[in-house]
Amino acid sequence: APVDFSGTWGLVSSENFENYMKSLDIDFMTRKVAKMLTPQKVIEQQGDKFSIRTLSTFRNYLVEFKVGEEYEEDTKGLDNRKLLSLVTWDNERLVCVQKGEKKNRGWTHWIQGDELHLELTCEDQLCKQVYQKV
Ligand code: VLP
């Protein structure tokens, strides 16, 4: 794909993260801490190979995958579930479907101008986040 997501991106806005966390059964105290964070996404992309690091003062999370190849995801430090995840291209958007206990779980990344956009879904909740290069 002609899109390059590589870089270090800082959170600038977040909508409905609280309800997204609730849909993942994240406990009250963890939600209170998590919603105060301004995480960074450190993305390394080589063609269809990605690593995405979500970094914060509280917890860090790493996923590595190749587009089109299903992988086992262990959401250790988040909701601690085992998922079967698959990322594909939808035109210039990177779309991840996360199969597991929770219905309709996944995320979509795309670049819009100088911003990195992220939509996170779980069950009936949609969280929208915007990041900018730092
Ligand atoms: C759980 C939900 C806060 C919050 C509890 C701990 C790591 C796409 C994708 C790549 C994600 C989102 C990860 C965040 C969900 C938190 C700790 C917060 C900081 O990102 O970029 O993995 O799945």
- Stretch 83-106: mean pLDDT: 98
* Residue 100 pLDDT: 98
> Residue 43 CA: which ligand 1 atom is closest?
21
- Residue carrying the six token digits 């609730």: 22
- Stretch 81-103: mean pLDDT: 98
Cα 110 to averaged position of ligand 1 atoms, centre (Å): 17
Q: Which of the pair, 133 or 2, is modelled with greater confidence?
A: 133
Instruction: Please give the model's pTM, rounded to 2 decimal places.
Output: 0.97
Q: Among 44, 52, 54, which is best to mutate for testing ligand 1, by the most ligand atoms less than 8 A from CB?
A: 54
Per-residue pLDDT of 33-80, as tens digits, reads 999 999 999 999 999 999 999 999 999 999 999 999 999 999 999 999
Cβ–Cβ < 8 Å for 86, 97: yes
Residues facing 111 on adjacent strands: 116
- Stretch 108-123: mean pLDDT: 98
With a CB cutoff of 8 Å and minimum separation 6, the contacts of 86 are 68, 69, 70, 71, 96, 97, 99
ipTM associated with this complex: 0.93
Nearest CA to ligand 1 atom 9: 107
Average pLDDT, the chain: 97
Structure tokens at 116: 């990195």
Cα 72 to averaged position of ligand 1 atoms, centre (Å): 16
What secondary structure letter does DSSP report for 33? H
* Residue 1 pLDDT: 60
